[in-house]
Amino acid sequence: MPFPGDATVSEAGEFPLIARLRDVFPQGEQVLVGPGDDAAVLRIRNGHVVVSTDMLVEGQHFRREWASACDIGHRAAAANLSDINAMGGRAHSLTIALGAPRDLPAAWALEFAEGFAEECALVDASVVGGDLAVADSLVVAVTVLGSCTQAPVLRSGAEPGDVLALCGRQGWAASGLAVLGRGFRSPRVLVEAYRRPEPPYDAGRIAAESGATAMIDISDGLLADARHLAEESGVAIDVRRDAFEIAEPLQAVAAATGADPLQFILGGGDDHALLGTFPSAEVPEGWTVVGSVAEGAAVTVDGAPYDGPTGWTHF
């Protein structure tokens, strides 16, 4: 049933809004039963099923005054699609639950869904179900399913003698967040990088096929996520400062804020670049070697402890 364009989610009603949201999401060939039943039914032709869940909470992961509903939809989808990418897989199906305050405009929810669907379309993934409930604050919970046609790349496979390599834009979203946090909107390219990440969606599968021994997507910070690799693999990782080219917009923000531009790269998240380890002869095209793996248990920068921010923590 149609509802006024200025209706809130409470005025629109749960099931009329869900019906409108279902229309936003096209279904892929892997979907046997999509939204509308008690559960979706999917098929996988070969390989392994890979599953991940992520949650975004307003005030912690996004602010509506800093990004449009469409942008936040892109961000929410990218965060989940990237997790499958980091396993060497490809996402194909997602479910999404929205906890919404009663006064949230229904148009916001629809615009969010459109941005989410646009991001999913980049990897030909489908939203196959979800839920809508009232909540005191805006919460988005997503489960993503994908497949790997080869053995998934875990965080635990790095070996001494491997190299550490990076694929994708890194530090741009953190710089954009620093700009927004000071009430500015430029450099625009950095603000847009925060609003709409650009994960290297093809790189995970290519890395897996090229012999990656361990991999993770950088959602919290390069050094923080490198520590996950080190701890899970039981190795030491050293990152080299001189491996990074600091783009001019990052330099401009650092100069304006009095920050070290490298801190955005080493401690920034939300770009969803990939960080992986490889035998030195097997780094694929598009990846940049930024460090090394050795025996031990620490994460260092140029061989020494790093005293700057290493990444985001929730608690």
* Full DSSP string of 124-175: T-EEEEEEEEE-SS-EEEEEEEEEESSPPP-TT---TT-EEEEES--SHHHH
Structure tokens at 304: 């020494």
Return phi, psi of residue 230, to 5°: -65, -45
Mean pLDDT throughout 185-211?
Answer: 96
Give the number of C-alpha atoms closer than 13 A to the C-alpha of residue 13, restricted to the C-beta side.
7
Residues 83 and 232: their CA atoms lie apart, in Å, by 17
Mean pLDDT throughout 183-196?
Answer: 95
Q: Which amino acid is at 37?
A: D
Q: Is the pLDDT of residue 4 over 90?
A: no
Residues 240 and 191: their CA atoms lie apart, in Å, by 27
SS3 122: coil
Compute and round to an integer the Cα radius of gyration of the chain.
20
Structure tokens at 267: 């401690």
Nearest 5°: CA angle at 87, between 151 and 59?
Answer: 160
- Are the C-beta atoms of residues 223 and 310 closer than 8 Å to each other? yes
CATH architecture, domain 9-148: 2-Layer Sandwich (3.30)
Q: Which has the higher per-residue pLDDT, 43 or 275?
A: 275
Residues 204 and 87: their CA atoms lie apart, in Å, by 7
Mean pLDDT throughout 147-155?
Answer: 92
Residues 292 and 162: their CA atoms lie apart, in Å, by 6
Mean pLDDT throughout 283-305?
Answer: 97
The pTM (predicted TM-score) of the whole model is 0.90
Q: Is the pLDDT of residue 275 over 90?
A: yes
Give residue-wise pLDDT tens across range 217-252.
Answer: 999 999 999 999 999 999 999 999 999 999 999 999
pLDDT for the residue 41:
84
- Residues 6+ away with beta carbon under 8 Å from 198: 168, 169, 271
Percent of the chain with pLDDT over 90: 78
- Residues 6+ away with beta carbon under 8 Å from 246: 171, 261, 262, 265
- Residues 6+ away with beta carbon under 8 Å from 233: 155, 156, 157, 158, 159, 214, 277, 293
- Residues 6+ away with beta carbon under 8 Å from 283: 163, 165, 210, 289
Least confident among 3-7, 173-177, 218-222: 3-7
Structure tokens at 139: 């919460």
- CATH 3.90.650.10 in the chain is located at 163-301
DSSP-derived secondary structure letter, 303: T
* Full DSSP string of 35-93: BTBSS-EE---SSEEEEEEEEEEBTTTB-TTTS-HHHHHHHHHHHHHHHHHTTT-EEEE
The interaxial angle of helices 248-257 and 188-195, nearest 10 deg, is: 100
Residues in the chain: 315
CATH fold, domain 163-301, is Phosphoribosyl-aminoimidazole Synthetase; Chain A, domain 2 (3.90.650)
pLDDT for the residue 227:
97
SS3 21: helix
pLDDT for the residue 55:
94
Give residue-wise pLDDT tens across range 24-63.
Answer: 988 888 888 888 766 778 888 778 899 999 999 999 999 9
DSSP-derived secondary structure letter, 8: B
Least confident among 43-57, 116-130, 150-164: 43-57
- CATH 3.30.1330.10 in the chain is located at 9-148
* Full DSSP string of 96-110: EEEEE-TTSBHHHHH
